[in-house]
């Protein structure tokens, strides 16, 4: 509520810069942790003592696959489990790839020089436009696709 009031009302004791800083921190943490949870989950789904034969004909063990990017890792888990998230839910897969991209932008933050000032306007704008609820629901759907009902919502009390 403080954030909402600060962004809407100029008569607040909480400066607008603090509000934007808060939005940036919370959204950045949400992105990083959401992506990390997807990758960690995929790593756990990989077989410990079997190799996965990828479409290129090569076999990879769990240790190799853990270093794959998100798309190839999803592909490997799909081959092993017989469940193809990317094929079944292409829009959600695109959201996960957007999540990956945002996470990489945050981790490898690049500044844009504007005269003597440094600007991070593009990443700030992306974070302000991000629908965190949709992000959480996409990650939940992704994990529950492979492990139904692993993540459930509990009623607030």
Q: What is the pLDDT of residue 115?
A: 62
Neighbours of 103 (CB within 10 A): 20
Neighbours of 60 (CB within 10 A): 19
The position carrying tokens 């603090």 is 18
Confidence of residue 1 (pLDDT cuts 50, 70, 90): very low
Q: Is the pLDDT of residue 45 over 80?
A: yes
**Mean pLDDT across 139-147:** 96
Q: How far is CA 62 from CA 11, 41, 74, 75, 113, in A?
A: 56, 13, 13, 13, 42
Choose among 86, 79, 43, 80: nearest CA to 64.
Answer: 43
Domain residue spans in the chain?
2-144
**Mean pLDDT across 9-20:** 69
Q: How far apart, in whole angstroms, are the C-alpha atoms of residue 60 and residue 51?
A: 5
Q: Is the pLDDT of residue 118 over 60?
A: no
Q: Is the pLDDT of residue 153 over 70?
A: yes
Confidence of residue 111 (pLDDT cuts 50, 70, 90): low
Q: Please state at what angle helix 16-45 crosses helix 90-107, rounded to 10 degrees.
A: 120
For 97-108, how does the pLDDT look when each residue is reduced to its tens digit (9 = 90+)? Answer: 999 999 998 888
In this structure, of 87-91, 100-104, 142-146, the range with the lowest mean pLDDT score is 100-104
Q: How far apart, in whole angstroms, are the C-alpha atoms of residue 36 and residue 34?
A: 5
Backbone angles phi, psi at 43, to 5 degrees: -60, -35
Q: What percent of the chain has pLDDT over 70?
A: 85
The position carrying tokens 């607008």 is 16
Q: What is the pLDDT of residue 123?
A: 81
95 secondary structure, DSSP code: H
C-alpha atoms less than 13 angstroms from C-alpha of 26 in its C-beta half-sphere: 12
Q: Is the pLDDT of residue 8 over 60?
A: no
Q: Is the pLDDT of residue 11 over 90?
A: no
């Amino acid at each position: 509520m403080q954030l909402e009031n600060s962004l809407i009302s100029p008569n607040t004791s909480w400066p607008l810069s603090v509000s934007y800083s808060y939005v940036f921190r919370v959204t950045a943490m949400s992105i990083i942790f959401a992506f990390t949870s997807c990758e960690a989950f995929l790593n756990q789904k990989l077989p410990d003592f079997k190799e996965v034969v990828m479409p290129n004909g090569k076999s990879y063990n769990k240790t190799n696959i853990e270093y794959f990017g998100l798309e190839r890792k999803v592909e490997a888990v799909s081959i092993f489990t017989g469940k193809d998230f990317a094929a079944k839910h292409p829009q959600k897969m695109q959201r996960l790839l957007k999540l990956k991209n945002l996470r990489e932008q945050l981790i490898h933050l690049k500044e844009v020089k504007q005269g003597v000032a440094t600007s991070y306007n593009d990443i700030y704008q992306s974070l302000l436009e991000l629908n965190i609820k949709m992000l959480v629901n996409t990650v939940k759907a992704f994990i529950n696709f492979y492990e139904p009902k692993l993540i459930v919502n509990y009623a607030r009390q």
